Amino acid sequence: MENDIYTTFNTIFSEGPKPPKSIFLEIILEDNKKTEVLDIFECLLNMYVYGFKKLNLSFNEDSMFVLKPYFLSIGIKINIELVQFDTALFNDPRYKYRYCSIENKLFLSNEEPETPFFVLNANQLPKSELNHFYATYQYEYEYLIFLSFEYI
């Protein structure tokens, strides 16, 4: 993903949220390769982390939902589920076959990410729809968070 996308993210998060579907976001990949659903998912995940940092949100349950209206402005609904941590969740299909995990330092560091690093899951199943991709984030031993996106 090129740095131009971060310029777009900066523009989106520099003002308040716009009306749903009012911003067109174009994803252009290097080497003119075909855009796959996982590329869209990764772009949206990068946008989520960028917005979290740009708006200087602190990590708590309320702040996880602050970005929802920004995503609606580009025609995307964020699905966020915070679940009290329990090791049984490691057998949840959303965790077991997730696309990736979000590294702890992405949310907790004060630096804006250049290109966030997500830990890919070796147990992935093939996915063809945007809302089939899940990222997980474990906040200490309090919550396990499931993030996914879907078109509105």
- Under a CB-based contact definition with an 8 Å cutoff, are residues 119 and 99 in contact? no
Say which residues have a Cβ less than 8 Å from residue 39's Cβ, sequence separation at least 6: 27, 29
What are 57's two structure tokens?
């949100």
pLDDT at 3: 58
Q: What is the pLDDT of residues 84-118, one digit of tens each?
A: 999 999 999 999 999 999 887 777 666 665 667 78
Average pLDDT over residues 67-80: 95
DSSP state letters, 12-48? HHHSPPPPTT-S------GGGPPPPHHHHHHHHHHHH
Residues in the chain: 152
Nearest residue to 83 (alpha-carbon basis) of 134, 146, 135, 149? 146
Apex 100 CA angle, 96 and 28, nearest 5: 140
pTM (two decimals): 0.88
What is the residue extent of each domain of the chain? 4-151
Least confident of 12-26, 32-46, 71-85, 113-127: 113-127
Q: Identity (one letter) of the amino acid at 88? A: A
- 136: β partners: 101, 146
Q: Is 105 left (phi over 0), alpha (psi -120 to 50) or beta?
A: alpha
- Under a CB-based contact definition with an 8 Å cutoff, are residues 84 and 31 in contact? no
